[in-house]
Structure 1
Amino acid sequence: MVPIKSLEKSRPKFSELPLAPTDPPASAWGLWGDQDELGTLNLLTTDVVRRAAKEVVNGETIPLNLPLDEFIQPMNPLRKPCSHHIIVKGHANDDELDINTQGSSHWDGLRHYPYQESLEYYNGVTQEDISGEELNFKAGIQNLAEKTITGRGVLLDWFSWAQKQDIDIDHFSRHEIPLEQVLEVVKEQGVEFIPGDILLIRTGWIPAYRALSPAAQVALSRRAIRTSCGIQASEAAIRWHWDNAFAAVASDTVAYEAWPSTKPYGVSMHEVFLSGWGMPIGESFDLEKLAVKCQKEGRWTFMFVSVPLNIPGGVASPPGAVAIF
């Protein structure tokens, strides 16, 4: 592992990506080795974790996970809602869950969304590698589970900032949040990023969803085009994420970037982050209590711990995420 002091020196500039001319746009394949399956989680060195532990002052914990059954119908109608069955054994109880791992709060793992033109995943893993006849766990979610996503979390409360700016937002449209607005939030909150930070962005999607009637919630999930607000996937925004060396990113929306992506850079953030850099994307995180706590404390950083499910060859996972103050 690379010590925190040398992380910035060891990473190429964004203008140097891709590292090989035949690799997909903005990819960093081979940066951590041709067989690497951790991607940007390599930034979470022991030095980074020890530094993150200094964020813990009073020991208060705030979970960042929605209930598994929060969505009556997950935002893709092909994804089944959570089903919970209690098995009464007479002397004790067991229970069984039937879930889609993207049906509530979750991490998109490195098997989720390839470069759409070549259908290649991180470090050149192919669909045949993932679903061929020979059992293969390449780029599976088990790598995230065994590493854990532990470091310093940073919340950018764009929604609170946008309300003060009287910005009108329809959370369920493809409302793009430009980098310029993100930078205004960074400035207002006085945030300074450190390599290996885990970035969380609050858009207000969750309270907007909860304000809908049950019927409207179901209708939202069954739209022909699943639009939602999120970060604009511009070249400047993608470059900014690389330059700040985030280990992972997450938000309270259903796609992090505005969806469907308009791909102003030619490829979506999902393609670059997941399959170019090996950077997990968290979606549908519950950031409401966290925003209140950060505002009360007057600080926007905290220790962040997430232990995904250890599913060999898995695509995604509930985050099991907590912010510790």
Structure 2
Amino acid sequence: MGSVADSPSHSNFDELPLHPSHPKASAWGLWGKDDELGTLNMLTTERVQEALREIMSGDRVPLNLAMNAFIQPMNPARKPCDHRIKVKGSANDNELHINTQGANTQGASHWVELRHYPYQRSLQYYNGIRQEDISGPSANHRIGIQNIAKNPITGRGVLLDWASWANSQGIQYASFSTYSIPLSQLVSVASCQGVSFHRGDILFLRTGWLADFRSLSKDEQADLPYRAVRSSICLEASEESIRWHWDNAFAAVASDTGAYEAWPSPQTWGVTMHEVFLSGWGLPIGESFDLEELERLCRNRGKWTFFVVSVPLNVPGGVASPSNAVAIL
């Protein structure tokens, strides 16, 4: 089946959900009742071929933080990366113990997929999958991260540099608070950068969180996860913002923060973006991406679009994975 915007009978956000028994704003069944790719269905071979035209210089920019980029993940209940060298005579092996929810924990750049966060009222994941399908006696691999590994996130990337725009406008904000960026500001950023969107784009949002984190002292960085409320800046989970993402038909979205939406989410529309994006549309969310070098190069060139490839780990039934993402300019 074609993309959201290619499907005339389902191109209107107001027609969601597609069945009255389905959760708010969900698009279950749009690509079939057994679909496990969600919005990644829009990354057709034709769109990937079109995206290749974005490559001009061939410069490659990794978008991944080191697996041990943070002393302690932002959620202290999750363990940081444990890396050990296992000496075997005259050779070495690597042993890694990681929590793949690296972005939510602020431990590494990663994608969260369709198994991560269900609709909180019905506890249903994408296309009606329930918890017992994931972890119960009849558990299966449906809607696991292996689907992205086998169908890598590959296409036209777009960077919106909200942080620089906000500073130029004299907007006062705090990265480590629940500062909700309104959609109107994001639209202004796109306008100032001269950006237009294509169906199936992979959207990256720079809020400045990572730059602000790096400006902290080591002690301040170490203390940050232990705040009473682990709040962070990002988008407002409003109806108009969620509608905008649907209307622009993004295949995936990512930011330099730990949630893509301001967290804890104010839920101004009664649901979080996590619920609608992941479990409603099957839209992967990338978190804690390193967008600093990408922003510098895009600004120097005056071009904010590029080719992007991201191949997560092939973990059958996995919930999340390090992003292994690179932008090619």
Amino acid at match of 1:244: N
Residue pair 2:16, 2:25 contacting (<8 A) in 1 also: yes
The TM-score, its normalising length taken from structure 2, stands at: 0.96
Q: Confirm whether residue 296 of structure 1 aligns to residue 289 of structure 2.
A: no
Equivalence for 1:204: 208
TM-score, normalised to structure 1's length?
0.97
Cα deviation, residue 8, structure 1:
5.6
- Conserved? CA contact 1:3–1:45, under 8 Å: no
Whether the 8 Å contact between 1:109 and 1:274 is mirrored in structure 2 is yes
1:168 & 1:239 partners in 2: Cα distance? 26
Give the one of 146, 158, 161 matched to 2:150. Answer: 146
CA distance in 2, matches of 1:50, 1:9: 24
Which deviates the most, 297-306 or 135-144? 135-144
Cα distance change of structure 1 residues 10 and 88 upon mapping to structure 2, 3 Å threshold = farther
- What SS does the aligned partner of 2:242 have? helix
Query: 2:39 maps to what in 1?
Result: 40
Other structure's SS at 2:21 match: coil
Equivalent residue, structure 1, for 2:261: 257
Q: Could you say which residue in structure 1 is the equivalent of 2:174?
A: 170
Partner Cα distance (1:158, 1:130) in 2: 37
Secondary structure of 1:237's match? helix
Q: 1:215 aligns with which of 206, 212, 219?
A: 219
Aligned pairs (5 A) from 1:71-86: 71-86=70-85
> Is this contact kept in 2: 1:8–1:195, CA < 8 A?
no
Question: Partner of 1:54: helix, strand, or coil?
Answer: helix
What is the deviation of 1:3?
7.8
More moved, 128-137 vs 39-48: 128-137
Counterpart of 2:277 (choices 268, 273, 279) is: 273
Aligned position for 1:246: 250
User: What is aligned with 1:12?
Assistant: 11
Amino acid at match of 1:134: S
Root-mean-square deviation (Å)? 1.3
1:102, CA displacement in angstroms?
2.0
**Distance in 2 between the 1:7 and 1:246 partners?**
13
Report the residue type matching 1:237 in the other structure. Answer: S
- Give 1:266's aligned amino acid: G
Q: Residue 132 of structure 2 contacts residue 138 of structure 2 at CA under 8 Å; is this kept in 1?
A: no
Structure-2 separation of matches of 1:238 and 1:64:
25
Q: Which amino acid aligns with 1:95?
A: N
CA spacing shift, 1:27–1:143, aligned 2, 3 Å: same
C-alpha separation between the residues in 1 aligned to 2:28 and 2:2?
Answer: 17
Gapped regions of structure 2 (runs ≥ 5): 103-107
Counterpart in the other structure of 1:95: 94
The one-character-per-residue Cα deviations of 1:271-310 (angstroms, maximum 9, x if unpaired) are: 0000000000000000000000000111000001000011
The sequence identity of aligned pairs, in percent, is: 62
How far, CA to CA, are the matches of 2:213 and 2:30 in structure 1?
39
SS in 2 for 1:171: coil
Deviation at 1:12, TM superposition (A): 2.8
Deviates more, 1:165-174 or 1:283-292: 165-174
- What one-letter code is carried by the residue in structure 2 that aligns with 1:2? G
CA distance in 1, matches of 2:3, 2:37: 16
The reply to whether residue 66 of structure 1 matches residue 65 of structure 2 is yes
CA contact (8 A) 1:62 1:290 kept: yes
Query: What residue number does 1:319 align with?
Result: 323
Runs of 4+ with >4 A deviation: none
Q: 1:194 to 1:8 in 2, by over 3 A?
A: farther
Any stretches of 5+ residues in structure 1 without a counterpart? Answer: none
Distance 1:226 1:271 in 2: 19
Residue pair 2:132, 2:139 contacting (<8 A) in 1 also: no
Pair 1:189–1:113, CA change in 2 (3 A): same
- Equivalent residue for 1:106? 110
Secondary structure of residue in 2 paired with 1:52: helix
Contact 1:3–1:47 under 8 Å retained in 2: no
Q: Give the letter for the 2:2 counterpart.
A: V
What displacement does 1:214 show? 2.1
Structure 2 counterpart of 1:14, which letter? F
